[in-house]
Homo-oligomer: A and B are copies of this chain.
């Protein structure tokens, strides 16, 4: 909540106290639903329900759907049956279904009893689609035309049903429920004659998604084709709904956040950061931390096995953090790049040989330059500036050769893991930095001690 919001809230409260309801009504009416929702955030139930009653029905619904679940529950409890029914029947089916999913059972019962039978049916249908599927984010309100309608009839039809549809700008032509064409409202408006039939101007090369398709793929398709809405069909090509661009934007944002969270070693969160309690944050984070901490037993074992070598050449310990970190960073550069390219469909798992060959050459360049600079750095900084007599040229050489092999191994494994994850049916983002680091650490140490034992002892 910004400072300006706080000042504004005070102004509203003052108007309310002074019972200047007309003025209040006028002000509230000028604010967008998303902004109102932010403004109402955390307000007590009483003022909230007063403000809500001052909003026109449509704005009230728009604001309601943008609020956080706890505030929604609060509001529903303060609504009369009549008010709840009005709000519900202003909502689009997809928003109503999302609401039902968030609310506790007793509230859901009241919500459904106050919804129109048609809406109730749509909600129930939408709730049956699995999470993250196209079906779960689609809405059932769209403009449905028939191929034999003339432009005149179509415009009259759209004018008639338009108010209740999520968008009127993309119209769908169906024949016995099968999707046979798409026509934009622009094409209808610009049609040469009012007697032209929809069938003559519709585009029959329809791009559609299945209800079972992944929501990320749907959003990606819409971004690729610049679609305002994407029709969703069932397995028999019957049209069942549309996904609109605003929902696709939300999916894109949500999926990018989820990928980043997974790449950062967390399970995806349900709430925004400020709404999450420390206990919730802890639960989302502890899993990977624990798993990776216990996995580090392997690096511990490797070090124990080479304790004799370390005792003889204690200078070797000095470079363990640098080798591990450089390996980890090299690997995560490759894995982040590949994970993102996979999720944007810029590369496919079948490109693996191509990817590995590219990473191999990149890693060779990186490994050789890092090794050269590292050698110079050790000789100048560690030996001359820091006067560390234990760091002999031989030690420097061992470190630098280890660096080359570690960078190469890290980049290849970093590229391989995400592709492997897809082939095994996992989310490739899981194969990112934290897990990779543990694997690369163990490898780096093995390479280091093997070379050191061979050369120095």
Contact = CB atoms under 8 A, between A and B. Distances in A.
A107 interface: no
B294 A377 contact: yes
Q: Which bucket holds chain A's interface residue count?
A: 35 or more
Given A186-B162, A225-B32, A226-B246, A441 B260 contact: no
Q: Which of A269, A297, A354, A388 has most B Cβ within 10 Å?
A: A297
A329 interface: yes
B336 A321 contact: no
Contacts of A226: 34, 246, 249
A359 B277 CA distance: 10
B340 A257 contact: yes
Given A207-B32, A314-B311, A274 B346 contact: yes
B264 A337 contact: yes
Interface stretch (A14-22, A72-80, A360-368): A360-368
A381 B186 CA distance: 70
Given A205-B31, A261-B340, A321 B319 contact: no
Given A228-B228, A328-B437, A388 B304 contact: yes
Interface string A290-322: 101110110111011001001100100111111
A434 interface: yes
A408 B92 CA distance: 45
Interface in A355-408: 355, 358-359, 361-362, 365-366, 369-370, 373-374, 377, 381-382, 386, 388, 390, 407
A253 B253 contact: no
A438 interface: yes
A279 B337 contact: no
A222 to B, nearest CB: 7
A118 interface: no
B336 A293 contact: no
A225 to B, nearest CB: 6
Interface in A225-241: 225-226, 228
A366 B329 contact: no
Contacts of A205: 30-32
Contact of A336 (B163, B222, B250, B264): B264
A8 interface: no
Nearest to A322: B296
Interface in A244-288: 245-246, 248-250, 252-253, 256-257, 259-261, 263-266, 269, 272-274, 276, 278-279, 281-282, 285-286, 288
B186 A296 contact: no
A342 to B, nearest CB: 9
Contacts of A168: 186, 189
B365 A279 contact: yes
A274 B354 contact: yes
B264 A333 contact: yes
Interface of A: 2, 30-32, 34, 155, 158-159, 162-163, 168-169, 185-186, 189-190, 205, 207, 222-226, 228, 245-246, 248-250, 252-253, 256-257, 259-261, 263-266, 269, 272-274, 276, 278-279, 281-282, 285-286, 288-290, 292-294, 296-297, 299-301, 303-304, 307, 310-311, 314, 317-322, 324-326, 328-330, 332-333, 335-341, 344, 346-348, 351, 354-355, 358-359, 361-362, 365-366, 369-370, 373-374, 377, 381-382, 386, 388, 390, 407, 433-434, 437-438, 441, 445
6 contacts: A2-B348, A249-B249, A260-B339, A292-B329, A294-B373, A321-B324
